[in-house]
């Protein structure tokens, strides 16, 4: 039930639709990724993140994504260090979720504080 990767290509001027200026969107080294997901998903499960993001593993199937601003990724990983334990408790109560990986995204330096939990179906480029 994961999204399928369709295409990896150079960005095209005008397609960011105001999210950023074309010179930033199209700068050297950037890529655009396109995915398709065939099953319907409620709109409240969608979040988008753009920026210089890094991740750190906080468990065997849990990662924390955050901006690569000094100290932010370390602070975010400390914040979510108990995530795997939380998932195990939920699995004991409700059963193992199908294909569940948990990827919290912590964005705080530009958005005061924004925390989002990615859909269990989300896969980042290069993952199975």
Q: Tens of pLDDT along 32-90?
A: 888 887 777 666 555 666 677 888 888 887 888 888 877 888 888 888 888 888 888 87
If asked whether residues 54 and 114 sit together in one domain, one would say yes
If asked whether residues 27 and 56 sit together in one domain, one would say no
One-letter-per-residue 3-state SS of 80-123:
CCCHHHHHHHHHHHHCCCCCCCECEEEECCCCCCEEEECCCCCC
If asked whether residues 67 and 127 sit together in one domain, one would say yes
pTM here is 0.47
If asked whether residues 10 and 35 sit together in one domain, one would say yes
If asked whether residues 49 and 63 sit together in one domain, one would say yes
d(CA 5, CA 69): 28
Q: Are strands 32-36 and 53-59 parallel, antiparallel or unpaired?
A: unpaired
Averaged over 79-106, what is the pLDDT? 74
If asked whether residues 29 and 66 sit together in one domain, one would say no
If asked whether residues 9 and 57 sit together in one domain, one would say no
If asked whether residues 31 and 89 sit together in one domain, one would say no
If asked whether residues 123 and 79 sit together in one domain, one would say yes
Decide if 94 contacts 115 (C-beta within 8 A): no
Please provide the size of the chain in residues.
128
If asked whether residues 22 and 68 sit together in one domain, one would say no
If asked whether residues 68 and 93 sit together in one domain, one would say yes
CATH of the domain at 56: 3.30.2010.30
Decide if 32 contacts 15 (C-beta within 8 A): yes
Q: Tens of pLDDT along 3-44?
A: 788 888 998 998 877 777 888 888 888 888 888 877 776 665
Domain limits for position 64: 42-128
75, containing H or E segment: helix 72-79
d(CA 58, CA 83): 7
Q: Structural domain tally of the chain?
A: 2
**Which residue shows structure tokens 């753009």?**
50
If asked whether residues 98 and 70 sit together in one domain, one would say yes
Phi/psi region, residue 108 (left: phi>0; alpha: psi -120 to 50; beta: rest), is alpha
């Amino acid at each position: 039930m994961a999204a399928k990767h369709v295409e990896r290509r150079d960005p095209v001027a005008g397609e960011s639709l105001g999210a950023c200026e074309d010179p930033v969107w199209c700068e050297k080294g950037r890529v655009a990724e396109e995915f398709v997901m065939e099953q319907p998903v409620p709109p409240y499960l969608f979040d988008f993140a753009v920026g210089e993001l890094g991740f750190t593993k906080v468990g065997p199937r849990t990662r924390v994504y955050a901006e690569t601003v000094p100290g932010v990724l370390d602070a975010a990983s400390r914040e979510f260090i108990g995530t795997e334990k939380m998932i195990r408790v939920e699995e004991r109560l409700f059963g193992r979720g199908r294909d569940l990986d948990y990827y919290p995204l912590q964005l705080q330096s530009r958005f005061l504080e924004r925390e989002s939990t990615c859909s269990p179906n989300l896969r980042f480029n290069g993952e199975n």
